[in-house]
Amino acid sequence: MAAVGGGDSYWIGLTDRQSEGSWRWTDGTRLYYTNWSPGEPNNGNNVDGEQDCVTLWEKYDFTHWDDLQCDLRINFICQTDIDECSSNNGGCDHNCVNTVGSYRCTCRNGYQESGSSCVDINECHNNNGGCSHNCENDVGSYHCTCRDGYQLSGSTDCIDVNECHNNNGGCSHNCENDVGSYHCTCRDGYQLSGSTDCIDIDECASNPCRNEGTCQDLINEYRCDCSPGWTGATCETDVNECDANNGQGPCDPNNGICQNSPGSYTCWCKVGFDLKEDQHGCKDTDECLDNDGRGPCDHICTDMFGSYRCSCRDGYSTGSDGFSCVDNDDCRSSPCENGATCLDGGGNYTC
């Protein structure tokens, strides 16, 4: 309490004007203790009017109470503090705290005083707000966020997100988690299309099959279907068709000749035989068909299996070449008598 002015008594703000004998403070607060001077209150002995207000009495060194008329002009003591915060929040931005004889302004969490105002505290300026990654200031507060691939653990720490635990990371085949990220991989025989999809690798795209082989694309491999006459994984090896049948291959086993070539073969026939229409078998050559049935012979041609024979008419002999016919000299034996002259006539003679 504070004393105002001077004199031999001081009003203390206690009265029973509204309810005789029931003393209350001027703000309506009930009286919970008394400190009356001896013989007080003595409202009934006062001839000047009712004594409804209380003073501190000089007679007892201002330590005891005395009741007097309320209209006396006496100094006073203020018992009730003025609450400055009750009007317009004391002019404070945020919180108004009343004190005895005064008041003070305070700010809510996340703000600091700037004169009579409250301004936002940027908590991110102090050690990044304690955030392990990103600190984002809010009005009156702040919050932590994490870089892509991380998530908050508590309010400040960031831990790696295993994206593969959620729908396999969207990967069509394999999902591999990285620190702060992840990546997709494909099974053997596939390759990435974009970042998540796997498509079959076309092993035939490089044309691995040789010698007109046909490439069949399979999963993680390919197969070459070789043209006739070729073999091997990529049709790189010639098939020697003539190796079979004691070197005759598919040709005539008796009179044929097999000749291998890259990717193929050719059948020939021995002398005296012609290749059949099937290009494999051999048939006897009739050497006597030409030259009016004489073939290569001068006179008579006799066809034989795989060969032929030339012979001559009477009076002729086969020449040394085996084809020609030579006239016999029938006059050489002097068949004419009695001095007659012998004329050789090609197979006979005339005397």
- 241-284: CATH number: 2.10.25.10
Rg of the chain over CA atoms, in angstroms? Answer: 70
Residue 123 CA to residue 101 CA, distance in Å, equals 35
Cα-based torsion angle of the residue sequence 31, 34, 35, 37 in order, rounded to the nearest 10 degrees: 110
Read off the pLDDT of residues 85-111 as tens digits, 9 standing for 90 and up: 998 998 899 999 998 778 899 999 889
Domain ranges across the chain: 2-78, 84-120, 123-160, 163-200, 203-238, 241-284
Fold that domain 203-238 belongs to in CATH: Laminin (2.10.25)
Read off the pLDDT of residues 198-223 as tens digits, 9 standing for 90 and up: 999 888 999 999 999 999 999 888 99
DSSP letter for each residue of 65-100: EEEE-TTS---EEE-S---GGGTGGGG-SSEEEEET
Instruction: Supply the pLDDT for residue 73.
Output: 84
Read off the pLDDT of residues 276-294 as tens digits, 9 standing for 90 and up: 899 999 988 887 888 888 8
Domains 84-120 and 203-238 share a fold: yes
Determine the straight-line distance between the first and last CA of the chain, rounded to whole angstroms: 198
Fold that domain 163-200 belongs to in CATH: Laminin (2.10.25)
Instruction: Supply the pLDDT for residue 2.
Output: 39
Fold that domain 123-160 belongs to in CATH: Laminin (2.10.25)
Instruction: Supply the pLDDT for residue 48.
Output: 55
Q: How confident is the model at residue 4 (pLDDT cuts 50, 70, 90)?
A: very low
Return the ∠ at Cα 29 (arms to 9 and 5), rounded to 5°.
Answer: 25
Read off the pLDDT of residues 297-341 as tens digits, 9 standing for 90 and up: 888 888 888 788 888 887 788 888 888 888 777 777 777 877 777
Residue 311 CA to residue 160 CA, distance in Å, equals 109
Instruction: Supply the pLDDT for residue 3.
Output: 42
Read off the pLDDT of residues 137-159 as tens digits, 9 standing for 90 and up: 998 899 999 998 899 999 999 99
Architecture of the 2-78 domain: Roll (3.10)
Average predicted confidence (pLDDT) for the chain: 86
Domain 84-120 has CATH 3.30.420.10: no
